[in-house]
Amino acid sequence: MSDLEMDAADQADDEVTSLEEGKLLDYITNEAVKDTPKEQVRQRIARAFFHEYGLSVEDMVPDFQLKIDGRNKKIDIAIFEPGADHTAANLRRVVICDKEPKTGSKGAYKMRDHQQAEKEFGLLYAAMSQEETPACRWGLWTNGLDFFFFEKEQVRFDTKFHPRGDWPMADGTLGSRTVASAAQLRRADRDMLLTAFRRCHNYIHGNEGMPKDAAFWQFLYLIFAKLHDERRPRDQPPRFWAGLFEKEVNGKRQLVDEQFDPAGQRAIRARVTQLVDEVAEKYKNTVFKDNPPRLTLSDRALGFIVGELAKYDLGRTALDAKGAAYQELVKHNIRGDRGQYFTPRGPVDLMVAMLDPRPEERVMDPACGTGGFLVSTLKHLDAKLRAAANLALDDESTDEFLSVQEALRAFVEHNLFGADFDPFLVRAAQMNVLMASNGQARVFNMNSVEFPAGHLPGAAEARGRANLGTMDVVLTNPPFGSNIPITDPNILKHFELAHLWERTEEGGFRNTGRLQGSVAPEVLFVERCLDWLKPGGRTGIVLPDGILGNPGDEYIRWWLLRHCWVLASIDLPVEVFIVEANVNILTSLLFLKKKTDEEIRAEDLGQTIDYPVFMAVAEKVGFDRRGNTLYKRGPDGEELVAEAEHRERLRVGGQSVVRVLRRKEKTLDNDLPYQKPDGTFVPGPILDAYRAFRAEHGQPNA
């Protein structure tokens, strides 16, 4: 059936090209408004209404004037009957916003229930109960972390406001609210999924009295259960949901939301406990072989989290949205005492895109952390598979979706590998990959510089599955720094670069055969990455600039040039790791192609080959040293804006409809790749230049 194309709003004014300081563009009106903490919350909510609920911005009005008790009050977002005049009589939904509360350095916030936040709802109740707004049935109060939904019931002499876990979709259905409507699950907007993850983790940590790491794993058990439920056979009913049920209240039957009622919460626990038990059995030999999952949450907390997650179709949500939400959650649970830091997504996505792994290639990260490079590889392959089949995320049949998922799952289970010495990170990486692909990742708990030896259990598992010399692509950000040196001679003796080298008369270097007393881990990881590659394989590695510039490390550079073709070197600014890890260090991305033995021998005999090397400097990465977002500016300092197109697919009258919304947006000042909130991939100038460079020059000695 052909799609109908509907413009959700008139095309934006092409003359709007910049914004003055302290302004942002309203998602509803496309007009400049003052940038305040409260306004940022309102913009996230308005965007979610369009992308998640299918509501049209033509039916929304910000700061709608409504007379209450004889005085004009502003309603932050008023939503009207589709296509109707924007009058109080046609008002259907009301939103009241407040600024997001500060969470402090620990990033935790004690979530409130409806009773605890009762004093916040005065304006919302008043707006919904006016004689002029008889058809206004739904209300929402939010500060960006607390979300309180209400359904109004008008009885003869009273107006009642019933707590609800969610709002209806644009067509009036409640999405995941009942078993019968489970097919209404929706793809998550990236910012709203991030908020949902934060809310769940905050609730467990702040309301259950759990340490952060315990809260983290309780939440992950439930994500496992949610994913497991989504992948059930089509003829089986869902179990991960929080619905409405009838209950006698004060002698009358009324609908009650399970997640807010003790009896309903017990029903949720019974269903979800079954799922967690099945997950424990399914993954008992991988993720949970040492610690089988056990729910220790209260019924109240369990009901809250199920209500938050049940409405989303995590399987069909964009990989970038899931990855961003997961990374934000897990980074607060990493200590960083042995170089365990996140690599920001810009350098990760750039490295993956430049190495361009293919579905038939074997890919490994020997210091995988929580799996950022692994998931970025899956995101890259997902885009490749969709492009080959001419599929868009919002325009695919169930069979087409499952075909892509099956291809990703097969890649994960046969061609994707990771390793880390921290068992916490191994499990976190396995969860990250599973959420992206439905495949059980082969992530080994081992010390990669000891492999194939080593006392950790993953070393034995990796032998035969991920042997040295068997990978097509290796990419990693290893632990680095002189404060965590490797001193064990039983490890050092296996590495050429762990020996002392002396300069030869010909200008090269000679291995003296004597071991150094200690070696920074990144030096060993450079050699180990090449060990894992097949001849002709490609590697990308994050390195401190010292290796590429210090006079004392010249023997390392000589060794690399002898064993590899240098594909590219990209300098990163100090902001990259200051924001993510509070580490003030300059780093580079080094890209290498492993030479064959024949190529090395030919060069030793004087058959040198000159070839061009791509080099670039990333000056901007989208944020400053304090983590503030940076946008491109004009010559007078004004922030530049450009038109963007947002698309959302929904069902209207039994037909598939693509709603199109054109809006002006600020342009991120970023030399690296990034994803817009709607999932659009922006390659950035460095990746564009590298692709043009490779198109002209090809691979060295190819």
**469: which DSSP letter?**
T
Cα–Cα distance for residue pair 186/317, rounded to 1 Å: 8
Is residue 632 within 8 A of residue 669, CB to CB? The reply is yes
Among the four given CATH numbers 3.40.50.150, 3.30.930.10, 3.30.310.80, 3.30.420.40, the one describing domain 346-627+693-697: 3.40.50.150
Averaged pLDDT, groups of 10, the chain, 702 residues long:
38 58 89 94 93 90 93 95 94 96 69 91 95 94 94 86 89 48 68 89 83 83 90 88 81 82 93 93 80 88 93 86 82 55 86 97 95 95 89 71 88 96 88 87 94 93 95 94 84 96 92 94 96 97 89 94 96 86 84 96 88 96 88 86 75 61 86 84 94 94 80
Q: What is the widest separation between alpha-carbon atoms in the chain?
A: 101
pLDDT of residue 394: 62
pLDDT of residue 246: 81
Distance of CA 434 to the CA centre of its chain: 13
CATH 3.40.50.150 residue ranges in the chain? Answer: 346-627+693-697
Is residue 177 within 8 A of residue 245, CB to CB? The reply is no
pTM (two decimals):
0.87
Strands (E), 349-452: 363-365, 416-420, 442-445
Cα–Cα distance for residue pair 660/655, rounded to 1 Å: 16
Contacts 24+ apart (CB under 8 A), 379-388: 379/319, 379/320, 379/323, 379/349, 379/352, 379/436, 380/349, 380/352, 380/353, 380/356, 381/357, 381/407, 381/408, 381/411, 382/319, 382/408, 383/681, 384/358, 384/359, 385/359
- What is the β-pairing status of strands 91-97 and 4-7? unpaired
pLDDT of residue 557: 95
pLDDT of residue 669: 93
Cα–Cα distance for residue pair 429/369, rounded to 1 Å: 7
Q: Three-state SS for 254?
A: strand
- Between vectors from CA 520 to CA 514 and to CA 522, what angle results, nearest 5°? 115
Is residue 325 within 8 A of residue 435, CB to CB? The reply is no
pLDDT tens, position by position, 390-426: 877 666 777 787 888 899 999 999 999 999 998 888 9
pLDDT of residue 107: 57
Is residue 441 within 8 A of residue 418, CB to CB? The reply is yes
Which residue carries 């983590």 as its tokens?
627
